[in-house]
Chain A
Amino acid sequence: MANSHSSEGAGRELRRIVRINEEIKSVVSAAFKINLMAMNAIFLAKRAGQSALGFGVLSNELRRFATDLQRQMDTLREATYGSVSTVTVLVKQSRISRLLERARIEAQGQAKTLIQQLARSRDESTLARNDEQMAALNRRLTHMIADTAQLVELGSVLARSAKIEAAYGGGFSGSLMQVSSDFEKIIGEIQRSLESLTKHQSEDFLA
């Protein structure tokens, strides 16, 4: 939200944060699923023995990936919380600005001068600082989303490799193949969530 003085912008910003949060929630639940699936995959690989060693290693990596992703989502959620706090301050400030503006119009003589002075000093300090803070938070959020995209790319590579490894699983090949395509499917879901997340992150900020 580049220009947040209008309170309409604040509502839009909150709705944007909610859209981001909803995507975060779906990524978190997908990461949870991957974690469970990876745990099962590790047991499966153990049973398959020698022929599924590579698959076992990849499953371990996928578990770590899921944990990293969950942690990343916690940080993102914290960042959106920071944005809500800043928007709240902005709304209060813009309400005060509106009231001061009305007071300025109605005031006469000395009162008008006083209000003008007050409004000027507020404009210079508070509003500029809040806008800056909002912009900084948004930049941080954008960076974090980019980091997450990289992480998910790694997950996608792991899932593809698991599929290749599954082919060497001997008698377990069929079930390993099933597990690895489940991995691929869920990581696909995460990628789509992340795409919408990126879209939401950029949409109103540019407006």
Chain B
Amino acid sequence: MKIARVIYEDGDHKWFALARDTSRPDFLIDTNEYLVTSDGDAMLLDPGGSEIFPAVFSAVSTGFDPRRIHKIFASHQDPDVISSLPMWLEFNPGIKCYLSWLWQGFVPHFAGNADTFVAIPDNGMEILVGSRRLQAIPAHYLHSSGNFHLYDPKAKVLFSGDVGAALLPAAEDGLFVEDFDRHIRHAEGFHRRWMGSDKAKRDWCARVSALEIDMLCPQHGAIYRGADVRRFIDWFSRLDVGVLKS
């Protein structure tokens, strides 16, 4: 079962991480979901696949009233990211889904109508959660051709979607990266194969290097914090991507 853990807290402004689901069946990739709350409003980031909706919904409900989730942020169009959308819309048909304009015609195949989606333009946009101004940061071609990360300048948290993802063995179930060198071995193959564009990668590294980041939160694996954030960006900028075999 998933549990919701608070990774940032300043009054009502919180970040919850729903990470490392041990009860998930093996044939599904493990995902992390995040919830940002502020002033009674909340946005769920990459709510996950429909198979894990019960686990995510129940975990969110233990720490937060899910009726206050008014927004969903989808970093990209993948099934492990957003195929639970039909369930969230069943629960609250008024939920708005923020998503790259590129996928506007595709994701409604999962659920939703013209009113459900808010198109994020290629250069990103500001998204208000309660009184907090969050930024959709362009991360195109990493790995999806219409791809965004989400930055919270007050909390100094960057949700980085599939960037920073690691496919960890079951025994390594910590919420945070503890030993960068050990950890990054589990991220290497994933980034080489999934991240298709070296130019996009370098652009992204430059873009996020300009941000103050205390925590880099990927959709798979553990969270990078403190000096490991810089370590990750440096590692990624040097990595050869877009290769079929490592």
> A residues bordering B, Cβ < 8 Å?
7, 10-11, 14-15, 18, 21-22, 25, 77, 80-81, 84-85, 88, 91-92, 95
Taking CB atoms, residues of chain B closer than 8 Å to A91 are 86-87, 90
List of B residues within 8 angstroms of A84 by Cβ: 53-54, 57-58
A11 CB to nearest chain B CB (Å): 4
Tell me if B1 is interfacial: C-beta within 8 Å of chain A.
Answer: yes
Q: How large is the interface on B (under 10, 10 to 19, 20 to 34, 35 or more residues)?
A: 10 to 19
B62: chain A residues within 8 A (beta carbon): 21, 25, 77
Task: Report the minimal beta-carbon distance from A70 to chain B, rounded to whole angstroms.
Answer: 14
- If A91-B87, A95-B86 touch, whether A15 touches B50 (CB-CB below 8 Å) is no
B90: contacting residue among A11, A22, A80, CB under 8 A: A11
Residue of A nearest to B59 (CB): A81
Which chain B positions have C-beta within 8 A of A77?
58, 62
Q: Is the CB of B1 within 8 A of A81?
A: yes
Report the Cα distance A7→B50, complex, angstroms.
15
Q: For the complex, is B61 an interface residue (Cβ under 8 Å from A)?
A: yes
Check A10 against B90 for contact (C-beta < 8 Å). yes
Cβ-defined partner of A88 (8 Å) among B53, B61, B67, B93: B53
Residue B179 is within 8 A (CB to CB) of chain A in the complex: no
Query: Smallest Cβ distance from A5 to chain B, in angstroms?
Result: 13
Offer 9 A-B interface pairs, CB within 8 angstroms, sorted by A.
A11-B91, A11-B93, A14-B87, A15-B67, A15-B91, A77-B58, A84-B57, A88-B87, A95-B86
CA distance A15 to B69 in the complex (A): 12
Given the complex, which residues of A lie within 8 Å of B61, measured CB to CB?
A: 18, 21
Docked-complex contact A80 and B87, CB < 8 angstroms: no
Summed over the interface, the residue pairs from A and B with CB atoms below 8 Å come to a total of 41
Please determine whether B86 and A18 come into contact, CB atoms closer than 8 angstroms: no
Chief secondary structure at chain A's binding surface: helix
B54 touches A18 (CB 8 A): no
Q: How far is the CA of A91 from the CA of B110 in the complex (A)?
A: 12
Residues in B neighbouring A22, C-beta threshold 8 A: 65
Given A11-B91, A91-B86, are A18 and B67 neighbors across the interface (CB < 8 Å)? yes
> Which chain B positions have C-beta within 8 A of A85?
54
**Residues of chain A lying within 8 A (CB to CB) of residue B93:** 11
B221 within 8 A of A: no
Residues of B within 8 A of A10 (CB): 90
Q: Does B66 contact A (CB under 8 A)?
A: yes
CA distance A142 to B145 in the complex (A): 49
Q: Which residue of A lies closest to B84 (CB)?
A: A88
Instruction: Annotate B86-123 by CB proximity to A: 1 below 8 A, 0 otherwise.
Output: 11001111000000000000000000000000000000
A92 near B67 with CB under 8 A, answer no
Tell me, in angstroms, the Cα distance from A167 to B90 when the chains sit together: 55
Contact B54 A88 (CB under 8 A): yes
